[in-house]
Amino acid sequence: MTESGSKLRIFKILKIIISSLLITVLLLFTIAAIRTLSLDVNAGLQLAHWEKTNNKSLVIDHHQREELLANFKEAIRIPTVSFSNTEINTTALLEFDRFLRKAFPTVFSSSLVHHELVGNYSHLFWVKGSQPELVPYMLLAHIDVVPASESDGWEAPPFSAKEIDGFIYGRGTIDDKNSLMGILQALEYLLLKGYAPRRGFYIGLGHDEEINGLNGAMNIVRVLKQRGVQLLFVMDEGLTISDGIIPGLEGPAALIGLSEKGQAAVKLSVSVAPGHASMPPRETSIGILATAVKRLEDNPMPRLFGYGPEGDTFEHLAHKFSFPLKFIMSNLWLFSPLLSRILERKPVSNAFVRTTTAVTFFNAGVKINVIPSLAEAYVNLRIHSAQSVEEVLDIIKDTVGDQRVKVELVYGFDPLPISGADEKAFGFQIIKKTVLDLFPTVTVAPAICVGNTDSRHFIDLTKNIYRFSPAWFKPGDLERFHGINERISTKNYEEMIVFYFNLIQNCDIRKLPEPHSSVHEL
Ligand SMILES: CCCCCCCC/C=C\CCCCCCCC(=O)N[C@@H](Cc1ccc(O)cc1)C(=O)O
Ligand SMILES: [Zn+2]
Ligand SMILES: [Zn+2]
């Protein structure tokens, strides 16, 4: 073949390759565009087709408003702090017990309600249903709060429940006395209105959630197991209604946690011979450990976006983003790697992308002129749904890559199972309907809860655990969670009561309506 003939041949091959590439790209974008326009994750059950069970309605009058706010403020003023794994405020927990009995006299005296103390300070209520064949469900909340100190910069003392511009300030106003008081206040009003549920339900109030729930939630589970109880679903604290928190999302979104990340506490330690600071070795225990910690911070865990429930979250929210995010989120099959890189830029969304690594303790040194023999650090890992404690531990050992650094697992548990969110998932659909009835402009989406809750102890009692409370989180509110100036608006607290009031009645339906695949209503 002549030189010009072979050039022509190469040119023809290149032309075929380029046009095939162009056709492939065009095809991919056509598929992506069709999916953007047609993705309908909100197809489901029509609100209008639900069996009507919410016969009682709650319109809060002036007197009730005064009373419910006074109750809530009194709850906030009782400092039920869990200080550490071994230090809880038992005096405050006993006071809280007395307070509940005074604030909710009908709940504590109704023949429909059986109440008992569990683990000395936790509360278990059983509200009897008129139709015992209907499987019961359970609402959870916790009594304890994390410590708070006014000197950190609170606008009002953290246990004052002071009202400023329509907000009640105080530790527990969003974590988690709002849910606790909201549930009991709703039940008090329902019972006062003569309501008797068809479907029985439990209410569990743990007293030590902030220190892992070992004596509260775990004992409640033990009691229920002994009684052979199985639950239709469990609803606990967790995700909320986010408004203006997810960048680019138009309007508020109620995220319902279908699962929660796993957790591990890992201890890193370095031991060397102690010595005189005037003749230091080239590397000290502190230096070796600091390098290990730096390696962990410089090498985040792998991106796993799309391998857990977080992919579904963005598919559900896609239609509320504008172009190009709408296009990207509707086509995670193509754009997951790109979206991961966008999300990982901010701590709040990075938590959805991977297992996170937080160094929370670093201890070493005894005296200014002594080379310390021991340096230790603790790392708190929040494990993505697609990983396990074991896998994460192996990655840590590889990343540290230094035999002198001892890596030990202090405690750990794998990510929690993923509850259903389809049209047959009773708990999910009940929560969704209750949200949409009360807040019609909200988009409801399944999600993963990045923190842990008492509900994780309930996995042997049900496959369906949802982490959600109808608290509204606006920009700046995430920082209030375990932070300073924790607060809730009086309006939102009232909405929470109405939400639980309606949810309890919605649970009385015998079964969910038949799905109607092309309807957008629910
Ligand atoms: C794409 C961006 C979406 C942004 C939306 C984010 C909304 C986030 C809303 C709420 C935050 C989630 C908080 C979940 C509840 C966590 C409760 C909690 O703090 N639990 C403790 C439990 C614990 C664990 C270990 C211990 O030794 C003690 C307590 C926790 O640390 O997880
Ligand atoms: Zn909490
Ligand atoms: Zn908390």
What CATH number has the domain spanning 260-413? 3.30.70.360
Q: What is the pLDDT of residues 481-522, one digit of tens each?
A: 999 999 999 999 999 999 999 999 999 999 898 886 544 444
CA distances 146 to 161, 176, 287, 376, 485, Å, are: 15, 10, 33, 25, 13
The answer, yes or no, to whether any atom of ligand 1 lies below 6 A from the CB of 31, is no
- Residues of 283-311 as b/e, b for ≥16 C-beta within 10 angstroms? ebbbebbbbbbebbeeeebbbbbbebbbb
The answer, yes or no, to whether any atom of ligand 1 lies below 6 A from the CB of 455, is no
The count of other CB atoms within 10 Å of the CB of residue 411 is 10
Residue 210 CA, ligand 3 centroid: distance in Å: 6
Which residue of 450, 457, 465, 472 sits with most ligand 1 atoms within 8 Å of its CB, as the best mutation to test the pocket? 450
Q: What local confidence, expressed as pLDDT, does residue 341 receive?
A: 96
The answer, yes or no, to whether any atom of ligand 1 lies below 6 A from the CB of 352, is yes
Which is higher by pLDDT, 386 or 10? 386
Ligand 1 atom nearest to 176, measured from its CA: 17
**Is the pLDDT reported for residue 44 higher than 60?**
no
Query: Is 35 within 8 Å of 41 (Cβ atoms)?
Result: no
Give me the mean pLDDT over the 255-271 stretch. 98
Chain-wide mean pLDDT for the chain? 94
Residue 318 CA, ligand 3 centroid: distance in Å: 30
The answer, yes or no, to whether any atom of ligand 1 lies below 6 A from the CB of 210, is yes
Determine which residue's CA is closest to atom 22 belonging to ligand 1. Answer: 452
Q: What local confidence, expressed as pLDDT, does residue 37 receive?
A: 62
210 labelled as ligand-binding? yes
The answer, yes or no, to whether any atom of ligand 1 lies below 6 A from the CB of 238, is yes
Q: What is the pLDDT of residues 194-251, one digit of tens each?
A: 999 999 999 999 999 999 999 999 999 999 999 999 999 999 999 999 999 998 899 9
CATH class of the domain at 62-246+417-507: alpha beta
Q: What is the pLDDT of residues 330-351, one digit of tens each?
A: 999 999 999 999 999 999 999 9
CA dist 39 and 88 (Å) reads 50
Phi, psi of 168, deg, nearest 5: -95, 125
The answer, yes or no, to whether any atom of ligand 1 lies below 6 A from the CB of 214, is no
Q: What local confidence, expressed as pLDDT, does residue 353 receive?
A: 97
User: Is 521 annotated as catalytic?
Assistant: no
Which residue of 180, 207, 210, 240 sits with most ligand 1 atoms within 8 Å of its CB, as the best mutation to test the pocket? 210
344 labelled as ligand-binding? no
**Is the pLDDT reported for residue 75 higher than 50?**
yes
Ligand 1 atom nearest to 382, measured from its CA: 32
Ligand 1 atom nearest to 313, measured from its CA: 1
CA dist 468 and 312 (Å) reads 17
Q: What is the pLDDT of residues 149-203, one digit of tens each?
A: 999 999 999 999 999 999 999 999 999 999 999 999 999 999 999 999 999 999 9
**Is the pLDDT reported for residue 25 higher than 90?**
no
Q: Where are the domains of the chain?
A: 62-246+417-507, 260-413
Which residues are placed with Cβ below 5 angstroms of ligand 2, an ion? Answer: 175-176, 237
* DSSP-based three-state secondary structure for 32: helix
Phi, psi of 178, deg, nearest 5: -65, -45
Determine which residue's CA is closest to atom 1 belonging to ligand 1. Answer: 349
For 254, counting Cβ atoms within 10 Å of its Cβ (0-12 exposed, 13-18 middle, 19+ buried), the class is buried
**Is the pLDDT reported for residue 395 higher than 70?**
yes
Q: What local confidence, expressed as pLDDT, does residue 54 receive?
A: 76
User: Which residue in the list 144, 176, 310, 477 is annotated as catalytic?
Assistant: 144
Q: What percent of the chain has pLDDT over 90?
A: 86
Query: Is the reported ipTM for this assembly greater than 0.90?
Result: yes
Residue 481 CA, ligand 1 centroid: distance in Å: 9
Residue 406 CA, ligand 3 centroid: distance in Å: 31
Query: Is 400 within 8 Å of 267 (Cβ atoms)?
Result: no
DSSP label of 520: -
Q: What is the 3-state secondary structure (H, E, C) of 125-151?
A: EEECCCCCCCCCEEEEEECCECCCCHH
User: Is 460 annotated as catalytic?
Assistant: no
Give this prediction's pTM: 0.92
Ligand 1 atom nearest to 310, measured from its CA: 1
Q: Which helix (H) or strand (E) holds 371?
A: strand 370-371
Q: What local confidence, expressed as pLDDT, does residue 518 receive?
A: 45
User: Which residue in the list 209, 260, 486, 494 is annotated as catalytic?
Assistant: 209
Query: Is 458 within 8 Å of 416 (Cβ atoms)?
Result: no
CA dist 446 and 427 (Å) reads 12
Phi, psi of 127, deg, nearest 5: -105, 115
Q: Which long-range contacts (CB under 8 A, 24 or more apart) does 1-10 make?
A: none
276 labelled as ligand-binding? no
Q: Across the strands, what pairs with 126? A: 114, 202
CB within 8 Å of 189: residues ≥ 6 apart: 58, 64, 497, 501
Q: What local confidence, expressed as pLDDT, does residue 14 receive?
A: 80
236 labelled as ligand-binding? yes
Give me the mean pLDDT over the 119-128 stretch. 98
Place of tokens 């246990």: 159
State the sign of the Cα–Cα–Cα–Cα dihedral 421, 342, 175, 474. Answer: negative
Residue 508 CA, ligand 1 centroid: distance in Å: 30
The answer, yes or no, to whether any atom of ligand 1 lies below 6 A from the CB of 498, is no
The answer, yes or no, to whether any atom of ligand 1 lies below 6 A from the CB of 453, is yes
